[in-house]
Amino acid sequence: MTTFNLLLLPGDGIGPEVMGETRRLISWLNENGDDRFEVQEGLVGGSCFDAHGISIQDETVDAAQKADAVLFGAVGGPKWDDVDYDVRPEAGLLRLRKDLELFANLRPAICYPALADASSLKRELVEGLDILIVRELTGGVYFGEPKTITDIGNGQKRAIDTQVYDTYEIERISRVAFDLAKKRRNKVSSSEKRNVMKSGVLWNEVVTQVHAKEFADVELEHVLADNCGMQLVRNPKQYDVIVTDNLFGDMLSDIAAMLTGSLGMLPSASLGAADAKTGKRKSLYEPVHGSAPDIAGQGLANPIAMIGSFAMALRYSLNRVELADRIEAAIASVLDDGLRTADIMQDGMRQVSTSEMGDAIIEALGTEG
Ligand code: NAD
């Protein structure tokens, strides 16, 4: 039996509701599974501001550094719209990303068969879809200097953003992508614009070198980012892992996400550098959605993105791939049975609350386990 240490940061709005269902699933695993999950909890975002006047405390960041994985709900809401910029709810999440040096953002796009008709693409294009976009998160044009708007006279201004990548940044993100591909279908598609951007030329060169030296057993292809966008809506199932920079990753991951329907279904992960001794990476798992103040406290939130984020933690940080598969199968079977939260409700299905969806997933896990 292995003991894993998890830090749970529910946050604001529907964060505590969807985290509550994940916590119940974890308790069920403690009673019925082979491993033990020690759970520590902390405040983040607006709830932390209300209690302590800041959006995250040092001790919470320390706990995040030590945890085997951090599960994060969502932060923010109109209540905190006017608080100082430095202590706004999002600052807590940004500090975690920065202090844990989470440079790799993982956004899976999984299409559960029962929801294939809810996609804007045809059923046969998305049914069974399972792709993973690995986006570089801490470099590139969003952070590069200079970043300015200057008055250049004659009523004209000039805006400059700088796309900049160093070799080490491309090496470490491509290692993450190749490593993950080995746990999946063993294929990486690297996406850039080498035809018009020097950063694309270097990206292509470094990914090719890392592949040849360290991951020759993984299939690698290069695809121009504009073509990748096109292919994602033409034939998304051709991909397994797509690795790309911060800007293209932002767009491609949103395109891929929408292939599969509601925000309430989408998990994500952010990974940091591998520890030199243990090989373990710092990690934070969170749903893609925000705190949804419009539905908070009403039992309407879909907990699947949060529970799916925990499944990702099992798969990518805790090396419990089989258990992750079982949780995803339990989600699929509940959807097959016709249960839907309001956001994914369809004709002829049965609408359930947040906790009823949580109950059903736990029950399905018990049945097939
Ligand atoms: P949102 O993701 O919170 O909500 C967008 C829409 O999707 C809403 O109609 C909401 O009801 C619905 N929705 C979202 N998650 C759902 C779920 N699990 N189940 C059912 N429906 C769901 O985005 P927003 O409305 O733009 O932002 C609300 C707040 O969340 C803002 O304060 C924003 O800053 C914050 N936010 C936080 C994060 C984060 O914590 N990582 C991310 C995005 C937005």
Using CA positions, which residue lies closest to atom 8 of ligand 1?
Answer: 292
Using CA positions, which residue lies closest to atom 26 of ligand 1?
Answer: 290
Q: Is 105 in the pocket of ligand 1 (CB under 6 A)?
A: no
Residues 98 and 206 in one domain: no
Report how far apart, in Å, the C-alpha atoms of 61 and of each of 9, 39, 288, 313 are: 11, 15, 21, 18
Residues 164 and 183 in one domain: yes
258, 289, 315 — which closes off a domain?
258
Using CA positions, which residue lies closest to atom 5 of ligand 1?
Answer: 292
Domain range for 161: 130-258
Residues 231 and 134 in one domain: yes
- Distance in Å, CA 197 to ligand 1 centroid: 34
- Distance in Å, CA 10 to ligand 1 centroid: 14
- Give domain status of residue 112, yes or no: no
C-alpha span between 28 and 2 (Å, rounded): 16
241, 258, 275 — which closes off a domain?
258
pLDDT digits (tens, 9 = 90+) for 119-136: 889 999 998 899 999 999
pLDDT > 90: what percent of the chain? 87
Strand partners, 8: 41, 71
**How long a stretch of residues is the chain?**
369
* 131-135, 141-145, 297-301: least confidently modelled range: 141-145
Best of 291, 304, 344 to mutate for ligand 1, by most ligand atoms within 8 A of CB? 291
Report how many domains make up the chain.
2
Q: Is 77 in the pocket of ligand 1 (CB under 6 A)?
A: yes
Residue 118 has pLDDT above 90, yes or no: no
Q: What is residue 224's predicted lDDT score, i.e. its pLDDT?
A: 98
Residue 369 has pLDDT above 60, yes or no: no
Residue 261 has pLDDT above 90, yes or no: no
| Average pLDDT across the chain, whole number | 95
Give the DSSP per-residue string, 211-278: HHHH-TTSEEEEEEHHHHHHHHHH-GGG-SEEEE-HHHHHHHHHHHHHTT--GGG-EEEEEEEEPTTT
Residues 231 and 138 in one domain: yes
Six token digits for residue 196? 């018009």
pLDDT digits (tens, 9 = 90+) for 47-71: 999 999 999 999 999 999 999 999 9
pLDDT digits (tens, 9 = 90+) for 314-340: 999 999 999 999 999 999 999 999 999
- Give domain status of residue 88, yes or no: yes
- Distance in Å, CA 290 to ligand 1 centroid: 3
Q: What is residue 333's predicted lDDT score, i.e. its pLDDT?
A: 95
- Distance in Å, CA 107 to ligand 1 centroid: 17
Q: Which atom of ligand 1 is nearest to the CA of 294?
A: 11
Q: What is the mean pLDDT of residues 88-96?
A: 94
Residues annotated catalytic, as ranges: 142, 193, 226, 250, 254
Best of 44, 263, 284 to mutate for ligand 1, by most ligand atoms within 8 A of CB? 263
Q: Which atom of ligand 1 is nearest to the CA of 287?
A: 41
Residue 302, domain CATH: 3.40.718.10
- Give domain status of residue 139, yes or no: yes
Residues 280 and 323 in one domain: yes
Q: Is 55 in the pocket of ligand 1 (CB under 6 A)?
A: no
Using CA positions, which residue lies closest to atom 22 of ligand 1?
Answer: 264
Residues 71 and 24 in one domain: yes
Q: What is the mean pLDDT of residues 210-226?
A: 98
Q: What is residue 307's predicted lDDT score, i.e. its pLDDT?
A: 98
Q: Is 340 in the pocket of ligand 1 (CB under 6 A)?
A: no
Tally of CB atoms within 10 A around 102: 21
Residue 299 has pLDDT above 70, yes or no: yes
**What confidence tier does 16 reach under pLDDT thresholds 50, 70, 90?**
very high
How distant is the alpha carbon of residue 344 from its chain centre? 20
Find out whether the peptide bond into 146 is cis, omega within 30 degrees of 0.
Answer: yes
Residues 136 and 187 in one domain: yes
